[in-house]
Chain A
Amino acid sequence: MTFSLSVILQAIASGLMIGGVFALISIGLTLIWGVMKIINFAHGEFLMIGLYLTYFLVTQFGMDPYLTILITTPALFFIGIGIFQVSIKPILKHPQMNQIMLTLGISLILQNLALVLFKADVLSVRTRYTGINYTVGGVVVTLTELIAFFGSIIATLALYYILKTTDIGRWIRAAAQNPTAAILQGVDVRFTYLLAFGMGSACLGIAASLLLPFYYTSPTVGLFLGLIAFVVVVLGGMGNFLGAFVGGLIIGLTESLGAAIMPGSLSRVLTFGIFVLFLLFRPQGILSKRQS
């Protein structure tokens, strides 16, 4: 097989675009892990909720897909804190296996609920942004991908800014680094967990609105995207914000290059091969130092 340079360049461009969205999705997951050491296996299903919500806002109410961010973001924030309050908060101090079972259970419930409500159909939207492309040096980039990429970057920077410069951000980081010490500064750590869970989920609202115009939704869409987020988070170092961002771009590129150079469904081998290699040889992730 031979690969033309233009195919590779095209794959790199598309990979980077989707990688930006992967980064945003993964940052939500890594934030939740970093603060309360919970791996939310329902993360992908939260994204699915966001995708369906976007779908209905666009198709039923004729909303501009990007305007739906104003609804999906707070919606996912509140869905996140609702689920946290009811199911996760009571088992925060329980063994990790119980927490894994719980979030896996939530993910299955949400998947099957979607199956009942929306059937197994794969749904996508056509908007006025669909079909607009830009060609630069033989590489075609769609407008929807470009918007998703830059939208994800902006959302990531905004979240980074909140974490870095606001009291809420400092509470979240303090609670992540030493919860007891945070309590001793008067920080309500339980409330901070709630906020962090809400913010991690809200990332998915933004991601869903940015993703749907060139992607699809189905009851199982979260299965793949959630798994990708998990791979990215491991790659970037569990709980590492910057690592999740870089990891998102890397996995986006890997997915896209894999699809371009490997036949059919073999492309996934590349992504999960990288995942396994990291687990074996660099479990602390690309950017993190090994925990001392």
Chain B
Amino acid sequence: MLNVENLSVQYSAFKALHGVSIKVEQGQIVSIVGANGAGKSTLINTVSGLLRPTEGSITFEGVELTTMSAHEIVRHGVVQVPEGRKLFPDMTVQENLLVGGSHKRARAGRGEALTQVYDLFPKLMEREKQSARTLSGGEQQMLAIGRAMMSQPKILMMDEPSLGLAPIVVQSIFAVVQELRNRGLTVLLVEQNIRHSLQISDYAYVLETGAVALEGTGASVLADDHTKAAYIGSPTGSEAH
């Protein structure tokens, strides 16, 4: 479905990604994990068209994305939930959602999508008329996800959805990610919460200094000695199931 091939991205003198190839199949949850600065956000921002690659190609359902402008990529169904939510703080919850559903392909089903989002996140309905800045961190993340849902994504790319949230809220966000997949959505998940994201992933890539260091099913990456030593840091036998 999404095919990233041999992707290189450079910020002036600094090469953030070199030769990264990843694949996401329809209906999967695929994780990109790795330390801070490994190039995870660079990768999905390049897929979103916010950054331009120096080399490589990104195709979605066979269509090349690297020559498309960022807003067109969204209209094609490749939608990002950005790191740090990036809500419209002075607009109400409902207005934030409506902006998400305002491009041409999404507009027809907007009422239905709104019902679905409120169904998934009843808290958002309660706060419909409040401005986004008044929401708690968890609610803001729900709104960011809901807003992305409004634009009728075919693939949802989530950048650090659990960042800065209380553990109990993190649980519910991961539950939402699984729920979205169960509803047929494809998810590309970028996370620092490595153990948790690998547990729910069908497939995973470990990024290290801008290159894929390891890939495999979520379970196999989780079981890998290198992953354990480098990221999970728990002595053998203590990991959760």
Report A's interface with B, CB cutoff 8 A. 167, 170-171, 173-174, 177-178, 180-189
Closest beta carbon of chain B to A156's beta carbon, Å: 19
Contact B88 A186 (CB under 8 A): no
Interface, chain B (partner A; CB < 8 A): 48, 50, 69-72, 74-75, 79-80, 82, 86-91, 95, 98-100, 102-103, 106-107, 147-148, 151
Provide the residues of chain A in CB contact with B79, threshold 8 Å.
184
Given A177-B89, A178-B86, A181-B88, check contact A187 B80 (CB 8 Å). Answer: no
Shortest beta-carbon distance from A292 to chain B in Å? 10
Query: When the two chains form their complex, are residues B99 and A182 in contact, meaning their CB atoms are under 8 A apart?
Result: yes
Known A182-B99, A184-B48; contact A189-B71, beta-carbon cutoff 8 A: yes
Q: Are A185 and B91 in contact (CB under 8 A)?
A: no
A151–B107 Cα distance when bound, in Å, is: 34
For the complex, give the distance between the alpha carbons of A5 and B74 in Å: 63
Which residues of B sit under 8 angstroms from A178, Cβ to Cβ?
Answer: 86-89
Interface of A is mostly: helix
Q: Which of B70, B75, B89, B98 has the most CB of A within 10 A?
A: B70
Chain B residues near A177: list those with CB within 8 A.
88-91
Is A186 within 8 A of B106, CB to CB?
Answer: yes
A-B contact count (CB 8 A): 70
Known: A167-B102, A170-B99, A174-B99. A184 touches B74 (CB 8 A): yes
Is A181 in contact with B106, judged by CB distance below 8 angstroms? no
With a CB–CB cut-off of 8 A, which chain A residues contact B106? 186
Q: Within 8 Å CB of B86, what residues of A? A: 178, 180-181, 184
Within the complex, the shortest CB–CB distance from B151 to chain A, in Å, comes to 6
Contacts of A186 in B (CB 8 A): 71-72, 74-75, 102-103, 106, 151
Chain A residue nearest to B84 (CB atoms) is A181
Most buried by A among B72, B79, B99, B107: B99
Whether B70 lies near A183 (C-beta < 8 A) is yes
Give bound CA distance, A174 to B99, whole Å: 8
What separation, in Å, do the CA atoms of A86 and B91 have in the docked complex? 32
